[in-house]
């Protein structure tokens, strides 16, 4: 591993399998179907493993749906491709209809516009409407689909009963890194507003944001909530986590390029918070670094900055027992979800390679990036 060129993301298959086994336990005990939200984790070289457990993928539009069909659900009728977009375009919808098993519409308008057309192309496709239950305790506005003026989902006031002749299901997505209590709060409001329509439905999709694989998540309670819901309304239940699939399954490994001093010691790394760990700035949160403490906790404190010209491209301040040197590796923990799916080539900085640590301990560099990946997006 010491010979690998940094930066790289390394996904550990054994950790991924551990998450998948827990998610599968939830499926088997509760009867829910769990599908992967590609938005959060789309390292498709791991899909041969993922599809041993999960029932399909949910995609946010044509490109993710194509990936789901090609790399996950190819030639297997038991694996499902679900597609949801805040709004579909004429130029995409026919192909989406051909490759999707479920199409979820964001508004009655969009549903009326496309329902007949997609059914003519694919009479097996199941249609659903995304509901905005207007109840969420999401920790951050940027991740709150039920916040003030949210465009995501149909509120009760905007619900048009004429949708009922087209749909088999209802979706909501209202959580972000949350526990079962938050789900129960959403369900209470969702049921109070919409349960009168459940008798027309084959399934209810509880969206993502369930932090099932996080230590301390009450898995047994979730199973109970799902079983009760299924029994009460006689519907199938879907969950579509992204983060919980990739949660703590690997690292972003970088190298120290230089150490400069300006009021404090600052290490410049061959990666970037802005380009390679975007949620650390968007959420924001402080990524853990292996072997480090808080600033000042251990003897030598450094600020970590990215190798871009953005002043705010800072990962945070970290301390170590031993001084850092140029060439040392810095390992950011838990950098597999919402990282490479969001990366940019800002500043022309090289994209981190994608590496899989297989269960037999072999290391596969599955993708390396270079100048063409930068140039190819420009003209």
Ligand X SMILES: *Cc1c(COP(=O)(O)O)cnc(C)c1O
Residue 15 φ/ψ region, left for φ over 0, alpha for ψ in the -120 to 50 degree band, beta for the rest: alpha
Instruction: Quickly count: other Cβ atoms within 10 Å of residue 108's Cβ.
Output: 17
The helix or strand, by DSSP H or E, that contains position 183, with its residue range, turns out to be helix 180-194
The answer to whether the CB of 46 falls within 8 A of the CB of 11 is: yes
Q: How far is the CB of 282 from ligand X (least distance, A)?
A: 13
Closest CB to ligand X among 298 and 342?
A: 342
Q: How far is the CB of 36 from ligand X (least distance, A)?
A: 9
Instruction: Quickly count: other Cβ atoms within 10 Å of residue 89's Cβ.
Output: 10
Q: Roughly how many angstroms between the first and final C-alpha of the chain, as a whole number?
A: 36
According to DSSP H, which parts of the chain are helical? 13-30, 47-50, 62-67, 90-99, 108-121, 180-194, 219-233, 243-246, 273-276, 278-282, 371-375
Q: How far is the CB of 4 from ligand X (least distance, A)?
A: 28
Find where tokens 């993708």 sit: 367
203 CB-near residues (< 8 Å, 6+ apart): 126, 128, 168, 169, 235, 236, 237, 238
Q: Which of 242, 244, 237 is nearest to 29 (CA)?
A: 237
Closest CB to ligand X among 92 and 373?
A: 92
Q: How far is the CB of 109 from ligand X (least distance, A)?
A: 18
93 CB-near residues (< 8 Å, 6+ apart): 114, 117, 118
Token digits of residue 191: 């049921």
Q: How far is the CB of 211 from ligand X (least distance, A)?
A: 8
| Buried-exposed string 254-277: b where 16+ CB fall within 10 A, e elsewhere | bbbeeeeeeeeebbbbbbbbbbbb
Closest CB to ligand X among 250 and 306?
A: 250
The residue ranges that bind ligand X (CB under 6 A) are 37, 39-40, 58, 84, 173, 176, 207-209, 240-244
Q: How far is the CB of 212 from ligand X (least distance, A)?
A: 9
Taking CB positions, which residue lies at the least distance from ligand X?
208
Closest CB to ligand X among 279 and 313?
A: 279
Peptide bond into 7 cis (omega under 30): yes
Closest CB to ligand X among 80 and 243?
A: 243
Closest CB to ligand X among 6 and 106?
A: 106
Closest CB to ligand X among 7 and 241?
A: 241
Q: How far is the CB of 206 from ligand X (least distance, A)?
A: 9
Q: How far is the CB of 5 from ligand X (least distance, A)?
A: 29
């Amino acid at each position: 591993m010491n010979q690998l060129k940094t930066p790289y993301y390394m996904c550990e298959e054994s950790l991924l399998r551990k998450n998948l086994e827990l998610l599968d336990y939830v499926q088997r005990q509760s009867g829910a179907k769990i599908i992967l939200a590609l938005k959060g984790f789309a390292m498709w070289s791991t899909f041969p493993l993922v599809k041993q457990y999960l029932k399909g993928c949910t995609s946010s539009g044509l490109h993710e749906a194509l990936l789901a069909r090609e790399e996950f659900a190819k030639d297997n009728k038991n694996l499902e491709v679900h597609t949801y977009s805040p709004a579909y375009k004429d130029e995409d919808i026919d192909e989406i209809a051909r490759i999707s098993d479920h199409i979820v519409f964001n508004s009655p308008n969009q549903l009326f516009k496309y329902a007949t057309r997609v059914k003519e192309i694919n009479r097996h496709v199941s249609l659903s409407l995304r509901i905005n239950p207007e109840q969420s305790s999401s920790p951050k506005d940027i991740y709150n689909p039920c916040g003030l003026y949210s465009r995501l989902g149909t509120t009760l006031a905007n619900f048009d009963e004429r949708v009922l002749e087209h749909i088999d299901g209802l979706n909501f997505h209202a959580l972000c890194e949350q526990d079962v209590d938050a789900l129960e709060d959403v369900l209470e409001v969702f049921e109070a507003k919409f349960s009168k329509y459940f008798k027309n439905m084959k399934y209810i999709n509880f969206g993502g944001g369930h932090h099932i694989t996080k230590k301390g998540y009450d898995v047994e309670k979730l199973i109970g909530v799902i079983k009760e819901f299924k029994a009460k309304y006689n519907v199938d239940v879907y969950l579509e986590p992204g983060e919980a699939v990739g949660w703590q399954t690997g690292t972003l490994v970088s190298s120290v390029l230089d150490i400069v001093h300006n009021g404090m010691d600052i290490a410049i790394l061959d990666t970037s918070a802005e380009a390679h760990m975007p949620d650390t700035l968007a959420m924001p949160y402080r990524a853990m670094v292996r072997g480090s403490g808080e600033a000042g906790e251990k003897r030598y404190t450094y600020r970590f900055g990215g190798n871009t010209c953005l002043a705010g491209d800072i990962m945070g301040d970290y301390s170590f027992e031993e001084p850092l040197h140029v060439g040392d590796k810095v390992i950011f923990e838990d950098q597999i979800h919402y990282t490479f799916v969001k990366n940019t080539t800002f500043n022309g900085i090289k994209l981190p390679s994608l590496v899989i640590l297989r269960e037999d301990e072999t290391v596969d560099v599955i993708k390396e990036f270079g100048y063409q990946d930068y140039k190819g997006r420009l003209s």
